[in-house]
Each structure stands twice: as C-alpha cells, then as structure tokens.
Structure 1
Amino acid sequence: MSPINPTLSSHHPVSALTVRNTGATPTVIQLDAMVWSQPDGVDTYTPAPDILATPPIFTLPAGGTQVIRVGSRLPPDAKAERSYRLFLSEIPPPPKADFNGLRMALRISLPLFVQPTTPVAPQLEWRATPSDKGHIRIEATNRGLGHARLSAFKLSAGTNSEPLHIPAETVYVLPGASHVWMVEASVASGTPLHLSAQSDAGELQTDLVVAGK
C-alpha cells in the first residue's frame, strides 16, 4: 500500500492510496475510518463520520490494485491536529462445506492526520521512575499540538554502560497523550539515562535522571 502515512490539509483536502493484492486469489476488503485518541495511553477508536473513505467495500483481484480516496467533510481546525486511523479488513468468503480448520483474516491499519491551518509540532516531556524490582518506567508526554512518531529507540544508563533493552517498534504519541515503556533494568534513583530515537523531525536525543519513588 502507498502512501503509508496519508495527511490531509487545506492545501491537500483529498488523499489517494493504492492497495495491491500480491496473493494468488481475489479478496474482498472493507474500508473504515475511525477517530483515534489515546486516553490513559491506550489507543481508542470510534467511528469517524467526518471522514469520507471510498470505496467502502471493494474486491481486489489476484495481483491487482485498487485506488482508494480519503477526504474530510470538515475544514481543518485553526490550531488543533485531528487524528484518525484507516482500517482495511479482509472479508473472507463463506467456508466450503468440508472445511475444518482455522481461518485468518487480514486487517491493516494506517494513521491519517488532518493538519490545522497553522503549523504544529510535538513537544515531548520525558520522565524515568523506578517501577517494580528490576524495571524502570519511561514515560513520554506530548505537550505539543502535533503528533510524535518515534522509532529506533536506544537507551543507556550512565556513561559507559551497555544499552538497555527498550522496545524498538514505531510508536505514535498524540497531542495531550502519553506513552509508557517498561524497561527491564536494575537502576537506582538518581542514575542518569540517555535516550535517542528517530522522529519525523530527525534524530531525537534527551538526557534524564531516574527519579525517586
């Protein structure tokens, strides 16, 4: 599928995406747009009637492609970024009479952002605290007006220590939301940490100190 990060704005009110079927059989796909929020750091989705995504259901032939178009029924906000997710869900055909087994249906999720009329950016605040024995809690809170997309995390304690293990998968932190990583490490309060990650704005680096309980 391309592009994988569609964005809408006053200058780009509609986005076109191409979906490809690399399999050997046709498949039926349902397209849904959902409002995306992160209360208490949990990804939450509700129907998005203000997003027009077409066609809502289509058949992809084997080796074929389908162009889908996404637009907003509402104009961009003046200052606030709006966050959504597009879900493409495979609708499997009815099983044959002699079928006996487990069937898997493909589901793909893509972020969709509607940019405001004024430029916005994320503003991350980081905090490290001891958790249960042998773990530290790394929390990022986004105080900005734009989302943060983070990946390729690296975390180390002290100046010459081995890197600590922190999940490296891509994480989105929406405006006003927080994300928590639990890191397996026996680190005392007051220990300096260095964290680096990749973001849409380039490499991010920050120094922080493990707070007391």
Structure 2
Amino acid sequence: MTNTRILRWLLPLLYFIVATMPASAASLQVRPVLVDVTAPGASSILTLSNTGAETVNAQVRVFKWTQKNGKDRLTPTRDVVASPPFVKMKPGRTYNLRIIRVSKKPVNGEEAYRLLVDQLPDVKPKGKTTVKFNIRYSIPVFFSQANASRPSLSWTYANSGKGFVLTARNSGGRRMRIANLRLKSGTGHSWTISKGLAGYALAGSTIKWRQKRRLKGANKGVRVFAKGDYGPISAKAQVR
C-alpha cells in the first residue's frame, strides 16, 4: 500500500479522533466556556492558554447570534468587540482577552453573541507530510438587563414527511440551554434527540429539531423531557 493510500485511509480516522477528543487535549485552551454579563456590566475577561510546545497564533471574532426559522444564525456585529482580535502566545503562556459591549443602546432583555476563537495555521509548515489540525472554539456570550425575565418554553410536535419536527419557542427574556432531550408518546414509545447538549432556545426565539423517523404513538400525545438551566424539564408538547 502506498503512502498516499495510507494517508487517505487514516485521514477520516484522524478527523474523528480530533473532533471527539476532550478540549484539554488541544494546545489552545479557552476559559470560561460561557460568558454571561448582566447590566450595568458591559465587559468580561476570557483567558487563552497555550499548553503545547509550539507558539500559537489565534484570531478572535464576535458575531451576533440569532435564530431564524428555527436555526442558529451568525452575522457580523460592531456592538460587541474582542480586544485584541489577534493573539500570539509562546508555549506555556496565558493571555487575558477582553470582551466589550461598545453599543450605547441599553440592553433590552438579553442579547446573544458567539465568540469564535480560531487557532491559525503555521505560516511555515515543518514538513511536507505533516498533518496538523487547528482548533476552533465557539463561546456563547450573553449580555442581559438586570430584570430580564426567566425563559418560558412552549413545545410543538409536528409530523414532516417520514419524520417529525420538534419546536421549542422561548417567550421569556433569557435563553434556555437544553440538554439530554428526549420524547415519550402517549403509548409509551420513546425517542432520544440528544444525549448531550441539544442547543439553546434564545430569548424571544424558536429552535427546531428535525428527525428522520416518526415517534410511534404521537397521536396519543407527546411529552418532552430534558435538562435546562433551571433544572429538569418535563412538558407537554402540542401535537399538530
């Protein structure tokens, strides 16, 4: 078997290993993994660390995070900035990064952003056969007013083609982090959508999960079970 064929066979496996390895295995570390700032506060600190043996270059960008048609959407923004936008760290060093809301408009409810931290590729690779994987962190960033209301979710189940769509609408003033999401029909049949993080229902927004198969017995009723920011979720879904 030639070296090229071996590399082609190994690449998918290597991608899988890197995608599933814990964050601690990466040379670029970011802490905390979520930023939550309540007014009158307008800034926060993230700490970047280089735990590897080589110098790390990183780019930091901030995007407005909204949900449209039940899907996450990231758009460029000038309301929140990261300072500095580029970081160079020697091995074993840490760097404090500032996240600043520069908009002069008062926060209405809660604003959601995503901070993307990308490890930039080396300008001068050390070898032609070197395979190097760069890391990206996507950090949720929230700015909220002091009296923002708690999240309030309503659920809808609807058949779609051979599958179904589960919709969560958040009419509250703050987001809800949803994990371990599963359904149970009126006939006792279960369906697991996610055993870990399922997503965020942003304030005043809707998130959808599309599944390829239908839940048996859904016409007899559907109940939603999950883990949220304020404890376990157990709610009845409207069936359409």
Show the counterpart of 1:166: 193
In structure 2, the gaps of 5 or more residues are 1-29
- What residue number does 1:47 align with? 76
**Letter of the aligned partner of 2:164 in structure 1?**
I
2:149 maps to 120
Letter in 1 for 2:192: H
The percent identity for this pair of structures is 25
CA distance in 2, matches of 1:200, 1:158: 27
Q: SS state of the match for residue 164, structure 1?
A: strand
Which letter does structure 2 place at the counterpart of 1:137?
A: V
CA positional deviation for 1:100? 4.8
The answer to whether the 8 Å contact 1:29/1:90 transfers is yes
SS, match of residue 69 in structure 2: helix
Contact 1:85 1:112 in 2 (8 A): yes
Aligned partners of 2:226 and 2:105: how far apart in 1?
A: 30
How do 1:36-185 and structure 2 match up within 5 A? Answer: 36-75=65-104, 77=106, 79-96=108-125, 99-100=128-129, 103-133=132-162, 135-158=163-186, 161-170=188-197, 171-183=199-211, 184-185=213-214
CA RMSD of aligned residues (A): 2.3
Q: Summarize deviations over 1:62-118 as a string: whole Å, max 9, x none.
A: 232211111211256353311111110111122448525655322111011111242
Q: Is the 8 A contact 1:157 1:191 kept in 2?
A: yes
- CA drift of 1:15 comes to 0.9
Larger mean CA deviation between 78-87 and 185-194 belongs to 185-194
Runs of at least 5 residues in structure 1 that lack an aligned partner in the other structure:
none
- Corresponding letter in the other structure for 1:144: G
- Please tell me whether residue 26 in structure 1 is matched to residue 55 in structure 2: yes
User: Larger helix proportion, structure 1 or 2?
Assistant: 2
- Are the aligned partners of 2:49 and 2:94 in contact in 1 as well (CA < 8 Å)? yes
Contact kept? 2:185, 2:217, Cα under 8 Å: no
Q: How many pairs are equivalent?
A: 209
Is 1:10 the equivalent of 2:39? yes
- Shift in Å, 1:128: 0.6
Does structure 2 retain, via aligned residues, the 8 Å contact 1:35–1:48?
A: yes
Q: Deviations over 1:38-58 (max 9, x none)?
A: 111222222221213112111
Measure, in 2, the Cα distance between the counterparts of 1:192 and 1:207: 8
Change (3 A) 1:164 1:186: closer
